[in-house]
Each structure stands twice: as structure tokens, then as C-alpha cells.
């Protein structure tokens, strides 16, 4: 089972334009979609589509349409007492795949709301192959919430993956090695923010990204899956480093592509694939998701894993 926590879930509304976004002008919309989302929720969606057992922990009322939508999609959803209504995020996509996101902060939480979420995860982590902590934190949450929860999960012997950014990411790194997860999924910009370097260089140079990722392994992280946008992804473990280039992809929407990449890696892990094949599956999932509208999760027949090129990266330690 893949257990996910999305502490700051959202209703993701996607608006597709018929041309380039122009500020201050009236534009035509070619389509509007809305979906219960958030990073952890997207990973649970991908697991459900792949037929892998999952449970999504989210702060929402049991009869909230958000929860009902997830259950209708076949996702085992565990709602915990929320601080308020689920927030709404707006994504604007242009025909060339350019994506603009407008994310609202959501309801402000107190310590009691955070502890309810943490206890729900801790009680179920023993039954999970992976526990995934993903996304931003809600207003009022301390930046160290993920770091504290990873430390508690490690004391329970759970395998933990974390995908977050900004202050929660920095707090997680500052709390290592006690808070070092088994897997992290930063992008180039996030790698640069915590380890230094030029984010554009890290996005464009897989060897540089791998070298930076080794800085996280030195702090106790088990593996780093660094997504590099159109340049694929890099995987760094204690056994080696690899770069995977994506298949030719017409980008429609990048929303949720990173979440699908992370799920692809987890799927490869639970099915026993070796590291290079886990990376290939991650990139296949991410590129397939980017070719679909909104936050659509790709099905197995939409993956082009055989077109993903994986090469070992030399010169790293």
C-alpha cells in the first residue's frame, strides 16, 4: 500500500486558453476542468489507476465533495478534522504547454489539526510499503512539520518519501540526519535552493544535478529523484547515479507531472525493479502526464517506457 498525506489539499481548477495568456485582456477559454487534488492526492490517484492499494489522508469533512470524489475514483480516503474548507487552486494552460498557477493559502491550522493528521499517518504507516508526505503546508503550520513527522515515522520503521519546497524543504534539510527520508523528489530549482548552485544549470546538466543530489545522500537521505523538466530526471542512490531522458512529448499541462514521476518510481520499487528501471518508469509516467490535459493521470497503455533512455552518470561519489 502507498499511504499519502496531503496536509494542504485543493480543488484544482484548470482553465485552457486558445492562445497566449495576455494580462489585462479578455480571452477565450477552450475548456475548464476541476478535480480534487494536491500532491499526495495525485499520487494516490495514480496508484488507484495502476491498481495499487493506496490510502489518502486529507483534512476534510467525511461528506465533503472533495472526499466523495476521491472515493468515487476508487481511492481509500481517510478524512481527518479540518481547520476549514478545502482551498481552490487555479491553473491556466496555454496551447504550447506553458502553465500559470494561482494557489490560495487555505484555512489556517492550529497544533490540534496538525497532530490529528500526524497521528492518522503514524497509525497506518506500518501497513504501507511507502508513506508519502507531499505538497505545501497550510497556513499556520510550522515549517518543521514534515521534519518532525519524518523523524517520528523513522522511529516506527516506516519508509518515507517527501516532496515539498520552500520553507518546509529547508526545515527538513536542516533537521537531517534525524529527519532524512528514504526518498526525496526535488526539481532543479529546489536542489539549488537547499544546496546552492544555479537552478538553470542543474535543470540542464544532469551531471551537475547528480553531484548536488549527493549532498543530500551525505546528510542521510536514502535516494534522490531529481526531476529536470524537459531534460528528464536524475536518480542518485548509494549504488550509483543515472540520468533518464524522456520520450518525445507534446506538452499539454505540466500540472501533476512531477507527482506522477514520483509515483512511477514508487511503483517500480514495490514491484522490485532495479534502480535504472525505476527511474525509467518515473520519467515515463511524468512525460505521459505532461502530454495530458489538467491533472489527468496516465494509464499503463499511455506510457512509453521503452522510449526512455537511461545512462549511468560517471564522476560522482
- The pLDDT tens digits for 30-66 are 999 888 989 999 999 999 999 999 999 999 999 999 9
Range with the lowest mean pLDDT among 98-102, 223-227, 235-239? 98-102
Range with the lowest mean pLDDT among 196-205, 235-244, 303-312? 196-205
CA 277-279-282 angle, to 5 degrees, is: 110
Cα distance between residue 246 and residue 203, in whole Å: 14
User: Can you give the pLDDT at residue 290?
Assistant: 93
* Closest of 79, 113, 106 to residue 12, by C-alpha: 106
User: Can you give the pLDDT at residue 12?
Assistant: 87
User: Can you give the pLDDT at residue 197?
Assistant: 87
Torsion 203-3-126-52 (CA) sign: negative
> Which domains are assigned to the chain?
2-312 (3.40.1190.20)
Record the cell numbers describing residue 11, joined without a space: 480543488
User: Can you give the pLDDT at residue 317?
Assistant: 40
Confidence of residue 96 (pLDDT cuts 50, 70, 90): confident
Q: What is the mean pLDDT of residues 90-118?
A: 92
* Closest of 168, 221, 162, 170 to residue 39, by C-alpha: 162
Cα distance between residue 290 and residue 297, in whole Å: 9
Q: Say whether 18 is catalytic.
A: no
Q: What is the mean pLDDT of residues 176-188?
A: 97
Burial class (CB in 10 A: 0-12, 13-18, 19+), 132: buried
**Which of 85, 259, 269, 277 is the catalytic position?**
259
Confidence of residue 75 (pLDDT cuts 50, 70, 90): very high
User: Can you give the pLDDT at residue 316?
Assistant: 41
* Closest of 286, 299, 301, 282 to residue 45, by C-alpha: 299
Our CA dihedral for 186, 189, 193, 195, rounded to 10 degrees, sits at: 70
Does 255 score more than 90 pLDDT?
no
What is the distance of C-alpha 118 from the center of its chain? Answer: 19
Does 226 score more than 60 pLDDT?
yes
Amino acid at each position: 500500500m502507498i499511504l499519502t498525506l496531503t496536509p494542504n489539499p485543493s480543488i484544482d481548477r484548470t482553465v485552457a486558453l486558445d492562445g497566449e495568456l495576455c494580462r489585462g485582456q479578455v480571452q477565450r477559454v477552450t475548456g475548464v476542468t476541476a478535480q480534487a487534488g494536491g500532491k499526495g492526492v495525485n499520487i494516490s490517484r495514480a496508484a488507484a489507476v495502476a491498481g495499487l492499494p493506496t490510502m489518502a489522508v486529507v483534512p476534510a469533512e467525511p461528506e465533503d465533495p472533495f472526499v466523495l470524489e476521491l472515493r468515487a475514483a476508487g481511492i481509500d480516503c481517510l478524512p481527518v478534522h479540518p481547520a476549514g474548507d478545502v482551498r481552490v487552486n487555479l491553473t491556466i494552460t496555454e496551447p504550447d504547454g506553458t502553465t500559470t498557477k494561482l494557489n490560495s493559502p487555505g484555512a489556517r491550522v492550529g497544533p490540534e489539526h496538525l497532530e490529528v493528521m500526524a497521528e492518522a499517518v503514524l497509525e497506518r504507516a506500518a501497513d504501507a510499503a511507502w508513506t508519502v508526505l507531499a505538497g505545501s503546508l497550510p497556513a499556520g503550520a510550522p515549517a518543521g512539520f514534515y521534519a518532525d513527522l519524518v523523524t517520528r515515522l523513522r522511529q516506527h520503521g516506516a519508509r518515507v518519501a517527501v516532496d515539498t519546497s520552500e520553507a518546509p524543504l529547508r526545515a527538513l534539510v536542516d533537521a537531517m540526519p534525524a529527519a532524512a527520508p528514504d526518498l526525496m523528489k526535488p526539481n532543479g530549482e529546489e536542489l539549488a535552493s537547499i544546496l546552492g548552485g544555479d537552478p538553470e544549470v542543474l535543470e540542464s546538466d544532469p551531471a551537475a544535478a547528480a553531484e548536488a543530489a549527493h549532498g543530500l545522500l551525505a546528510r542521510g537521505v536514502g535516494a534522490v529523484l531529481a526531476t529536470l523538466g524537459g531534460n528528464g530526471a536524475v536518480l542518485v542512490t548509494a549504488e550509483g547515479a543515472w540520468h533518464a531522458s524522456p520520450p518525445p512529448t507534446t506538452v499539454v499541462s505540466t500540472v501533476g507531472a512531477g507527482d506522477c514521476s514520483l509515483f512511477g518510481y514508487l511503483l517500480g520499487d514495490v514491484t522490485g525493479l532495479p534502480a535504472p528501471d525505476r527511474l525509467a518508469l518515473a520519467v515515463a509516467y511524468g512525460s505521459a502526464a505532461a502530454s495530458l490535459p489538467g491533472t489527468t493521470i496516465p494509464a499503463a497503455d499511455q506510457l512509453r517506457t521503452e522510449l526512455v533512455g537511461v545512462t549511468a552518470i560517471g564522476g560522482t561519489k
